[in-house]
Copies of this chain bind each other. A is one copy, B any other.
């Protein structure tokens, strides 16, 4: 059986078997029962839940039970600001925005500029801070509620974070950190401490409010190990364990294996800063195709949408189920050609990015409302 995939917070390799991954990580598949419970409260379901792009969780069932008993919860997610934002980052943020609106709850968003500075030998503190602010504009552009969204730039909120982090750190040995994060004796001491800094926002809603508020982390499943330490420590500090909801990976343009990542090369990703021509060129040139070798064969036997990256990206981006199904069927039947399918994606992306750029421009004036200060 396919055991030839690797998923850690730092690398995703091979074609991921998500069922096996859930078993490996010890998370739970989101059951139909749980989905229905969510639907009961939100009225309708986000397409990422309908399509099981968000497919796995930890303690989401407990969180929903508490919610039905009248207990509030808060969202927490984040970003490592080591470069420009790409579409792979936006996927969980788009879903997070839906959760915020559907449940009318606060979001704490951590920009881990300290971690990126510590783990990337060549990045300076100035660079990671600059990317924090730039990435924040991408977040704000998605329409988050300025009254309920709190962006934490680690190095600028470090008084509060450090005071919480030392509480966490006191309960975590170097052995724990090595086991969860694969640290070695050659890892720098900033990285050793850093899991405590990342755990801090899990408890921030409780600390700031004085009530016990559970946090829910929407993120791609590779990020799950990061919060295992936070979950272990939570009861020792008297806070609720952080819950999580996990999504699959937006694949790299170049093929269905692994996830889209800047470190895989510029051609595997679409950045929010890419202009229309760049988007078109990248999709046309690099997007892995499920089409047949010749037009004749494609018309006769049809393409394979399941391995076609343009289709797979549309699954993450097109909220209209009917439209998506028609694309799937037409491609499979050979009615839709690979170039045409690519064009659908190009248009979808360029429409989205055009509006996104405008919203980012407006977001510059709103930035101050979102950044949490000590």
Contact = CB atoms under 8 A, between A and B. Distances in A.
A190 B175 contact: no
A197 to B, nearest CB: 9
Number of copies: 2
Most buried by B among A172, A174, A175: A174
A188 interface: yes
Contacts of A2: none
A178 B165 CA distance: 21
A365 interface: no
Interface string A120-163: 00000100000000000000000000000000000110110111
A190 B170 contact: yes
Contacts of A155: 162-163, 166
B187 A174 contact: yes
A167 B374 contact: no
Contact of A118 (B169, B183, B188, B191): B169
A90 B25 CA distance: 54
Nearest to A167: B125
A212 B117 CA distance: 24
Interface in A161-206: 161-163, 165-167, 169-178, 183-193, 195-196
A213 B25 CA distance: 51
A114 interface: yes
A190 B196 contact: yes
A188 B159 contact: no
Given A162-B158, A190-B193, A174 B185 contact: yes
Nearest to A373: B159
Contacts of A171: 188
Nearest to A178: B185
Contacts of A117: 166, 170
A58 B142 CA distance: 56
A116 B191 CA distance: 21
Most buried by B among A118, A166, A172: A166
Nearest to A119: B170
A176 to B, nearest CB: 8
A228 B298 CA distance: 69
A209 B171 CA distance: 37
Given A159-B158, A193-B192, A175 B186 contact: yes
A182 to B, nearest CB: 13
B196 A177 contact: no
A117 B175 CA distance: 20
Nearest to A191: B169
A169 B188 CA distance: 6
Contact of A188 (B158, B172, B188): B172
Nearest to A174: B185
A155 B166 CA distance: 9
11 contacts: A158-B159, A161-B162, A169-B189, A171-B188, A172-B188, A173-B185, A173-B188, A174-B188, A174-B192, A175-B185, A178-B185
Interface of A: 114, 117-118, 125, 155-156, 158-159, 161-163, 165-167, 169-178, 183-193, 195-196, 374
